[in-house]
Amino acid sequence: MRKIRKYKKLLTFVAFIFLSLFFLADFDIPLEELEEKYTYSYSKFIEVDGMRVHYTDQGSGVPIVLLHGSGGSLHTWEGWANTLKKNYRVISIDLPAFGLTGPHIRGAYSIDSYTKFLYDFVSNLKLESFHLAGNSLGGGIAWNFASDYPEKVEKLLLLDASGYRVIPKKQTNESKEKKRSSFSIFRLARIPVINKIFLYFTPKSIIRNNLKQVYYDDSMVTDALVKQYHDFALREGNRQAFMDRLTMKKGKDTSYKLKEINNPTLILWGENDRWISVKSAYKFDEAIPNSKLVIMKETGHLPMEERPEESAKIAMDFLARDSE
C-alpha cells in the first residue's frame, strides 16, 4: 500500500512537470499564420533550389538587392526600401533559415551555399546586374558574391558585415556589465543539451536581450519589435536551422577575396557595434581597393533598422555618386 502511494506521488510529480513544460513551451507558429501577418502587398514567393523563398519587390530603376543578417528578416530593410524605391527597384530577401523562407531544403548554410543561393535567386529573376547591400551575415554573403561574380554587382554596400571579427581590447565597465547580464542566443545555441531545450523554449526575454545588444538605443527595442523577431524564430524549422548554422564547422577563410573586389564599395558601420567591432570597418576599408568608409555615431549593429533615414541617405548619396 505504501509503495502504491509512493508511486502515485511520483507519477503525480512527473505529470506536473510534463504539464508545466507543455504550457511553458514555445510551439512553432503555423506558416499560414505568419504569412497572413507578415507579408506585404508587394511580397512575392519564388522557388529557388527546391525552396519557396519570400521576397519583396517594389519601385523601379536599377535593381538593388538587400540581404539581412543572422536572426533577421527582410523586414529589417523596410526603412531603406521606403526611401530607395523612389529611385531604384528594391528587392529584399528572406534568406534560407530565416523569416518566412525557413530552413534550407538540404541544411546548406555555408557562405558558399548562400552565395550560390543568391546567384540562383537573381538568375531566376533575370537580373543581369544590380547594386548589392548586406548587413552582418548578409554583408558576408554580399562581398563573397561580389568577388565571385563581379560583373553582376554595380555597387556594393556593406553594413557591419561579417568577415573580420575583431574583439576590442578595452571595454568600459558599462559594456562589460551589459555583456555579463545578457544571455547571447548565439552562445546558448552552441551549448549541448541547452541548445536542445532552445528548440522548445525560446523566451522573449532572450530575444529582447539580444536586440538590446545590437541596438545602441535600448529604448527603441519595443514589445512589437521583440514579438516580430520572436515570431520569426518560431517559424517551423527556423530554430533548428539557426542551431545547425552555429554548430557547423567553420569554413575556410575567404578574406583574401576582399582585395579582389574592384566594385565601388560603401562600408557603413555603427560606431557602437557590440557584435562586430568597428575596428573591422577599417579592416574592410583597407582591404577593398575602391571603398568609402562611413562610421555612424551612437549606432549599433543594425544601422538600417536603428537609424533608417540617416543611413538610407548615406546609401542614396553613395549610389548617386559617379564611380571613380
Question: Of 69, 74, 14, which is closest to residue 44 (Cα–Cα)?
Answer: 74
At residue 188, the pLDDT reads 59
- Cβ(284)–Cβ(291) under 8 Å? yes
At residue 172, the pLDDT reads 47
User: What's the CA gap between 158 and 69, in Å, rounded?
Assistant: 11
Residues lower than pLDDT 50 in the chain: 9-24, 167-168, 171-183, 324
At residue 186, the pLDDT reads 61
User: What's the CA gap between 296 and 274, in Å, rounded?
Assistant: 14
- The one-letter amino acid code at 95 reads L
User: What's the CA gap between 128 and 116, in Å, rounded?
Assistant: 15
User: What's the CA gap between 186 and 202, in Å, rounded?
Assistant: 13
pTM of the model: 0.86
- The one-letter amino acid code at 201 reads F
At residue 236, the pLDDT reads 93
At residue 254, the pLDDT reads 84
Give the Cα-Cα-Cα angle 185, 195, 98 (nearest 5 degrees).
55
Which residue's entry shows cell 579582389? 260
Residue 214 is placed in which grid cell? 545590437
Domains of the chain listed by start with CATH number: 31-168+256-320 (3.40.50.1820), 173-247 (no CATH)
- Cβ(10)–Cβ(3) under 8 Å? no
- Tally Cβ neighbours within 10 Å of residue 73: 24
- Cβ(291)–Cβ(321) under 8 Å? no
Give the Cα-Cα-Cα angle 243, 248, 250 (nearest 5 degrees).
130
- Tally Cβ neighbours within 10 Å of residue 2: 6
User: What's the CA gap between 324 and 321, in Å, rounded?
Assistant: 9
At residue 26, the pLDDT reads 79
Question: Of 313, 253, 255, 258, which is closest to residue 291 (Cα–Cα)?
Answer: 258
Question: Of 72, 63, 94, which is closest to residue 185 (Cα–Cα)?
Answer: 72
Q: Strand ranges (DSSP E) for the chain?
A: 43-48, 51-59, 63-67, 89-93, 130-135, 153-159, 265-270, 291-296
User: What's the CA gap between 113 and 44, in Å, rounded?
Assistant: 22
The strand pair at 43-48 and 291-296 is best described as: unpaired
